[in-house]
Each structure stands twice: as structure tokens, then as C-alpha cells.
Amino acid sequence: MGQSEYGLHPLRKERRQRNLTQRDLADLAGISLSTIQRAEQGRPIRVDCRRLLCACLGKTAQELGLVEKPVGTEDRASVESSLPVAATIHESAPADSGNTLFLTGPIVLRNPYRSIDLLGQNRSDLTNLPSQQVGAWLAMTANDLAILLESEASWSVESLLHTLQMIIQGVQAMPKVTRRRLLQLGAAAVVSSISVPTSSHVTAQERMQLCQALGESIAAGWKMLYTVSNAQMGAIAQAHLFLVQQNHALLYPQARSLCYTGAYSQIGITLHFQEHDEEALQAYQSSYIAALETGDRWYVAQSLICQSDSYHALGQYRLAIEAIEEALRVIGTADDERLLRARAHLLTCWADNAMMLADDFTAQEKLETAATYLDQLAPNEEFDLAGWLLLAGKYALKTENYAKAKDCFEKALHQLPDQWMLRRVMTAIGLAMAYAHLKERGESLALAETLVPMVQGIDATMTNRWFHQYLQRDLLGTFPTDEQTRTFVSKTYRQLPHLTRLSGNR
């Protein structure tokens, strides 16, 4: 990762051309100031931060000096140059004012790949296109998607197709003028924040359909939160943000704010489960700003709940409680189930933070108050009886009331649908801990055996750490000389070798 010909790092040069300070760019991209500073010093930064910078500036990682030019780029370009193309590749672009998050001005494509304009000859559908064009496009796209199937995240074909189906829902609703440009730009359009032109031909009906489709796609993404791996959820969240950015000018203001708050919250929660909580907090703050624009109390409260989760993870429990108190003030009178659910959730979060401050009286009081709402709440991914039981079980573990912890976790598992994998794993780890402390070795080992493939499938740093702590502190800590226990733990670390890199509490 080198400097420009004038000794100035490409990222710093790009930032200065846009009249942005390092803090401005950090805020716009939703990453930390220290990450910007490291990048401009030529030091490596995480992949997700590189992507956010590329999205914010509409440039590739190579152009920003964040990675070296990948091996094989020249070969691929030479092959693609022989294909029939109609896309225009612009070599330069006017500097952005730096006052908004979203790029303005002409379309700019900075991409190592040449792309194929499948609609370049006014064709109405793929079946009428020359087979050479369609075949080349399918081969290039399949090659890119194959990387996911072979990656460390290990996407299955079924999960990939399901995710694509959900994202396509939003793309299909885009007016032809914008959808055609996405197709024209090929893969670059879904990995960079390229602005699209508005058109006088976009009708009110098309705008309404677009708003509805993007909203439904983001809502479907939330439904997948507890059923797919953390890596997949992160990709879904980023795809949603890119689509909203692409269609920013076409979305009605209310729908635009709703879409942004949903997309940023999805990004935040995936970062939270990877324990990148400073970055998660920034994403949640972006979600909060968008939520304020909606004027909807529930969305504002949700963004504050998310912020409190990040403060909690960072050990800033009093700041977490302040966010919770603000959210409760925003909700005011809870006059529908959404707000009742949010209030119960907030009170439970308050109990969790009080627990960490060793304020057992407040923790118990908030849990009991939250419990008064539970009969009015149907099962829901956000919060329900099972969510309350999980926190009650955690409190019982902390106060060494292991019999009660076991009861709470068992009831919670009974409440949870099988497909809510993430919540089931979190609850089952707690139950395995309770079994161990009650000297129920067989039950603890049997449950842990079922958890191994689930922990592996989710692959989130938070759940990996919890499972590691259970193996070391609760299982081996209780049965240090038991041969069956030691054999199981050794086998588990061979199956999940990344757990060995985790140690102790955060």
C-alpha cells in the first residue's frame, strides 16, 4: 500500500480534494478516526472498513491505496477487453463538496473490470440478447459469486440464492433509468457508492413501488438476522445500504429515512456481534439521525437501544443507561404493541447494565417491571418472553442461583423457533453453563455437542467468545480432571480452531 507519485497517500489526496478533514471522512464513512489515520499512514485496515471507505468515496480499494493491485487483474482485463461493451469508463470526476454523504454529479466508474451493457441495443429482456453477451455476463457473475461459496464464510448455494432473491426484490422495483445503469456498470454498482441520475420519466407510481420494495427488502433482512451467519448478514446489510444510496434522490423523504435507519442498524448489529463496537456505535448513530427524520418514536427508540448495546459491550454501562433513559422518554406513553415491546426491552437492558455495575437491587426491579408487559407481547425477533428469560437467566447465573438459571434458559429454549439460530445459541450456551455449575456433566456435554455446528455456522466473535468461556471457565473449571470432559474440549478446539485465539473477558 503505497504513496502517490507526489508522496501523498491516495486516500489523503482524495480526502483533501473533497475538502474533508479526517474526522469528516470518518463520520461520513461510519468508521473510527483512528482507522482513517492508519489508512493514510499506509497501514492495513480491516476489510469492512475498506469497503465503507470505497462506498463513501466511490473509488476502488486500489485507487485509494488501501490494497495492492490484485494478481491477475491484467489477465482478466485483457480477456474482457475483447467482449462487446457499451459502458463508458470515466477517467476522472469533479471533487465532491464533502457536505453530504451521498455522491452527486455525473456517474463515475472506477473499476478494474470492463462491464457489459446488456440493454445497450434497447433489448427488453435477456432472452433476446446475443448469446455471447449473456454467456460472458453469466460467467463473470458466476465467477464472482463462486468466491463466496469457497470463502471462509462458507455460504451455501441455498443461502446465496435466498439472499439474492431478497435483494433482487429491491432492484426490480428500480425505474429502468437507474436499473439500466446498474446493469451497465456491472459488479461495480454493488460494491461502490456510485450515484445514479434522476429522470423526468420516473413516475409517481414507480417511486411508490421503489419505496415499498426497498422497505420490504430491508424488513426481510431483519427476519434473516437470527437465521444466517454473521458474515452473510453483514453482506445483506451492506447491499441494502448501497441500494438506498443508489436510489437516494428517487425515494420519498419519509421512506428514505426509514430505509437508512434500517440499513445502518443492520450494519451496526453485524459489527456488534463481531465485537467491533466502536464502529457499530457509529453506524447506530447514523441510524439515530435517520430515525429522528422519520418522526416515529419506535425507530428512534430502537436506534437508542442499539447504541446502549454498544456502550454495554464497551464497558460504558452508565452511558448505556443514559441512552436507555432517553429512549424511555422518547417512547412516553406506550399506546401500541410496538412501543410496549420497546419499553419492556429497554427495561431489561437497564437491568443488564445495572447487573454489570453490581447494582442488584435496580437489576431485579427493572426485570420485574419489564415482566409486567410480557403477557401483552407475541413472539418477536426484537424482544419477547424468551428474550426476557435469557436476561433473567443471566442474572441468576451472576447471582449463583444456578437452579433458577437452568429453569429460565430451559423455558426460553422452549419458546424459541428452531430457525432463530442465533438466539437459540445464546440461550443454549447459558443453559450449558447452568448445567455445569449444577454438576450435571452429562446434560452439559450433550447440549454442548449440539452447539458446536451452530456456533461454527454463525461464526460471530461474540458467540465464539461465549462458547470459549463456557468450555474453559464453566466446563473445565467445574470438571478439571474428568477425562470425558477433557476429550470433548480437545475435540471441540480441533473443530473450531479459531476459538483458541480467544481468551478471558473483553
- Helix then strand then coil, in percent of the chain rounded to 5, is 70, 0, 30
CA distances from 179 to 118, 161, 174, 261, 416 (A): 11, 20, 6, 23, 40
Instruction: Please compute the mean of the pLDDT values over residues 264-288 and round it to a whole number.
Output: 92
Residue 149, pLDDT above cutoff 80: no
d(CA 381, CA 396): 23
Residue 352, burial from CB neighbour count under 10 angstroms (0-12, 13-18, 19+): buried
Name the segment(s) of the chain with CATH classification 1.25.40.10.
296-383
Condensed to tens digits (0 to 9), the pLDDT of residues 315-374 reads: 999 999 999 999 999 999 888 899 999 999 999 999 999 999 999 999 999 999 999 999
296-383 CATH fold: 1.25.40
Condensed to tens digits (0 to 9), the pLDDT of residues 68-115 reads: 654 444 333 332 332 222 222 222 333 333 332 332 222 232 333 333
Q: Assign residue 179 a region: left if phi > 0, alpha if psi is -120 to 50, beta otherwise?
A: alpha
Contact 121, 183 (CB under 8 A): no
The three three-digit cell numbers of residue 244, written as one number? 438506498
Cβ neighbours of residue 375 closer than 8 Å, sequence gap 6 or more:
none
| CATH 1.10.10 matches 399-506 | no
* Residue 211, H or E segment: helix 204-223
Model pLDDT, residue 332: 93
Instruction: Please compute the mean of the pLDDT values over residues 262-271 and round it to a whole number.
Output: 93
Condensed to tens digits (0 to 9), the pLDDT of residues 360-413 reads: 999 999 999 999 999 999 998 889 999 999 999 999 999 999 999 999 999 999
Model pLDDT, residue 500: 75
Condensed to tens digits (0 to 9), the pLDDT of residues 483-504 reads: 999 999 999 999 988 887 765 4
